[in-house]
Chains A and B, each alone.
Chain A
Amino acid sequence: MSFEININNTQVEVHEGETLLNVMRKNGIKIPTLCYMAGFTPSGACRLCVVEVEGKRDLITSCTYPVEEGMVVKTNSSRVIKARKSLVEMLLANHPDDCLYCERNGNCELQWLAEELNVKERKYFSRKNTDKRDHSSPSVYRDPAKCILCNRCVRVCEEVQLVTAIEFVYRGNKTKVNSAFNKGLNVSSCINCGQCIMVCPTGALVDISHIERVQAILDNPGKETVAMLSPAFVASIAEQAGIKNTDNPAGLITAALYKIGFKKVYDMSVASDLNIVLEASILKERMEKNHSTPLLSSCCPAWIKYAEEFTPDILPDISEAKSPQQLMGRIVKYHLHKETESDKLYTVGFMPCVANKYEASREENTLKGISETDAVITVREFLRMLRSSGISLSRMEAENPLPPLENNSRAGFQMAYSGGKAEAVAMQLNLLLNGKNPSGFKFIPPKNPGSKREVKVKIGKHEFGFAWVSGIMEAQNYLDQLKHDQRTDIHYVEVMACAGGCVGGGGQPVSYFNAREKAKLRKKTSQELEKLPANTIAGQNNDLATYLSANEKNAGSKSFHTNFHQRNVLK
């Protein structure tokens, strides 16, 4: 049933059951919110969305209030503005005044609101929050003093990622967001995906920055800094900086990195190819042995950590192939250079992800005490490095990254978004089973967005089922359903911990209000960039093939494999 209500002297048609906030947002009326999250049930915690409704004594929170026939709503009356201003002043009562030193300076929802609502001085004084800052995690840094208890991080962690590493503890004015028993994130069930960073309105949750340590090494003449560019990172930067794919974004970024002081810059695409080749061969092996359970992808470190903590029984089904970042570190340190030089090399992964920072610190990803990847720079950090060095990407002369092994395929860019890797693995499997000329192979994802993300393709005599899921909740539900239905027609499941894949990763620029649109744009950029390489299939890369066969003789292909183990954490 639809009817009309009056908002700011304009008649607006609405449907029964909609909330006021949704109606106003649909009609382009700006309402500030701090706790509201699209797609979640509203909580009404921050109260910034208050509006005045004729006939109601109090101001009401529009996020929780359903529309009623004949409502007369005012969204910007002086009473409303005054109330909102008071709310922000109260939020600021114990907020530290250190915006200048804050990671989110200039990109902070609380700062914007204080500016919009003309807050000019500290009106209320409250005791400073002296809770300990949490440096314990390799990826996520938490500063409780800046937390405004909006509960977005808590809800993302619990409802989207099923992890519940952080939760409200204590009560009343002592309430805070903390991990279990007030211990650090490192012993909690945190999977380091960084989705909490992406929704935090202030600087209470930020990443552990590697900028300083990288800069310190750049000046060290005894070290050789090597940059490794992930294709997903290139696509994100291209989208963010507005570089057309015809302008060679990887080349521009490479030139910028040389300017910043890196000695060598490699493209990580070859490692993506290698990862896909490895996974396809594992899949082939499993098919020959008639495994009934599907192979699960291993490229997402946050997903791996989730599985190790919560579902250790599926660990044997996860592919043992190392992730592209670690493969690349291994290739750079032990194959492109002599092993004796490996401690002089300092490899820096450029990734759209904060979980990669944790992954680089895993013991499995070291050899004789030396990390394969020494530091990880996210999209956010790189954009900051560009600004601090005064470099404009569009003014660079493109320089191609050093090709360790040329002829990359499009697989790297495909790995940036959910569904891409499944396709790449399917094509590689087709190449493996059908030989050199895989013509007529088509992998067509379902167009209907509501349908299951599955594709069945016929390769040789067998029919293979490929599926892809993103977001831990979706992944867990899907895998549970597979088990429940006792399905054996799905052979490969690509799992990515962040919704939409790496394009929605925890290392992407924080832009809460258009996060989904941004992720879509990044996906589009990736899809445009993937048209550039001549090869469409990972294994068509001839150099990769020779490299693999040479390496198998020397070190055994096991150097490209890793292992997982159950983790007992506070979960």
Chain B
Amino acid sequence: MDKQLLSIFEMFPNRQRDDLIPMLHKIQDQFGFLSEDFIIEVGSYLDISVNKIFGVATFYDNFRFGPRGKYHIRLCHGTACHVAGATTILAELEKQLKIKSGETDKSGLFSLEVVSCIGACGLAPLIEINDEYHTSLSVESVKIILDQYRENHNNDYDE
């Protein structure tokens, strides 16, 4: 078993059902996402059905089941952003990246997550990419922003 995973397990010596969610949080903090193998390990450690854990983990938006992309896009879907057209922005992002919310694209460059209010309602609609904010978006600007990041990535690669 993975040593890091083992050290997380050691934090929960009582092996109780209520250890499940804190444990999943720790694993996600450590590895960035919950892999199938880790969920199976947690299941056998806590003696909870894998299916049950998957049910719990999918219930909460915070848990991810695949690695994040190099650029993690968080789309604000609070009330103000919704009114200002976050849904069309989401549709455009999904179209451009060919992924759905919660997924990572094939190149591993972008991942997409829909979050509730970020607290910048005056600048709606907006996305946050690796702690950088892109505000007052329109369908056209989405493509430009994504292209910028692709270019940045290519530059990183060339250097």
Contact = CB atoms under 8 A, between A and B. Distances in A.
Real binding pair: yes
Interface of A: 158, 164-171, 179-181, 188-189, 570-571
A571 B59 CA distance: 19
B59 A164 contact: no
B51 A165 contact: yes
A167 B43 contact: no
A170 B55 CA distance: 7
Contact of A570 (B50, B55, B58, B60): B50
B40 interface: yes
A167 B40 CA distance: 15
A188 B60 CA distance: 22
Contacts of B52: 158, 164, 167
Contacts of A180: 49-51, 54
Given A188-B51, A189-B49, A571-B43, 14 more contacts: A164-B52, A167-B54, A167-B55, A168-B55, A168-B59, A169-B58, A171-B59, A180-B51, A180-B54, A189-B51, A570-B40, A570-B51, A571-B49, A571-B50
Contacts of A165: 51
Given A167-B49, A171-B59, A571-B49, A181 B43 contact: no
B36 interface: yes
A81 to B, nearest CB: 34
Contacts of A168: 55, 59
A169 B39 CA distance: 14
A271 B85 CA distance: 69
Interface in B86-111: none
Contacts of B40: 570
A385 to B, nearest CB: 35
Contacts of A189: 49, 51
Nearest to B40: A570
Nearest to B55: A167
Nearest to A182: B54
Interface string B57-80: 011110000000000000000000
Most buried by B among A165, A167, A170, A188: A167
A171 B58 contact: yes
Interface of B: 36, 39-40, 43, 49-52, 54-55, 58-61
Contacts of B59: 168-171
A159 to B, nearest CB: 12
Given A570-B40, A571-B43, A170 B58 contact: yes
A403 B111 CA distance: 67
Contact of B54 (A158, A171, A181): A181
Contacts of A188: 51
Nearest to B65: A181
Nearest to A180: B51
Contacts of A570: 40, 50-51
A169 B55 CA distance: 4
Contacts of B50: 180-181, 570-571
A188 B49 CA distance: 11
Contacts, number: 43
Contacts of A166: 51
Nearest to B36: A181
Report the 6 A-B pairs with minimum CB-CB distance, sorted nearest first.
A164-B49, A167-B55, A180-B51, A167-B51, A169-B58, A171-B59
Given A181-B36, A571-B49, A169 B54 contact: yes
A167 B54 CA distance: 8
22 contacts: A158-B52, A164-B52, A166-B51, A167-B49, A167-B51, A167-B52, A167-B54, A167-B55, A168-B59, A169-B54, A169-B55, A171-B58, A171-B60, A171-B61, A180-B49, A180-B51, A180-B54, A181-B50, A189-B49, A570-B51, A571-B43, A571-B49
B101 to A, nearest CB: 11
B54 to A, nearest CB: 5
B39 to A, nearest CB: 8
A171 B54 CA distance: 12
Contacts of B61: 171
Contacts of A571: 43, 49-51
Contacts of B51: 164-167, 179-180, 188-189, 570-571
Contacts of B36: 181
B20 to A, nearest CB: 14
Nearest to B59: A171
Most buried by B among A165, A166, A188, A571: A571
Contacts of B39: 181
Contacts of A171: 58-61
A189 B40 CA distance: 13
B43 to A, nearest CB: 7
A188 B55 CA distance: 14
Nearest to B44: A571
A215 to B, nearest CB: 36
A570 B40 CA distance: 7
B119 to A, nearest CB: 23
A492 to B, nearest CB: 29
A548 B36 CA distance: 50
A42 B14 CA distance: 30
Contacts of A170: 58-59
A168 B49 CA distance: 13
Contacts of B60: 171
Nearest to B48: A164
Contacts of A158: 49, 52
Nearest to A164: B49
A189 B52 CA distance: 12
A118 to B, nearest CB: 36
Question: Which residue of B43, B51, B52, B61 has the most chain A CB atoms within 10 A of its CB atom?
Answer: B51
B105 to A, nearest CB: 19
A188 B50 CA distance: 9
A170 B101 CA distance: 13
A158 B51 CA distance: 10
A415 to B, nearest CB: 31
Contacts of B54: 167, 169, 180-181
A181 B61 CA distance: 16
Contacts of A179: 51
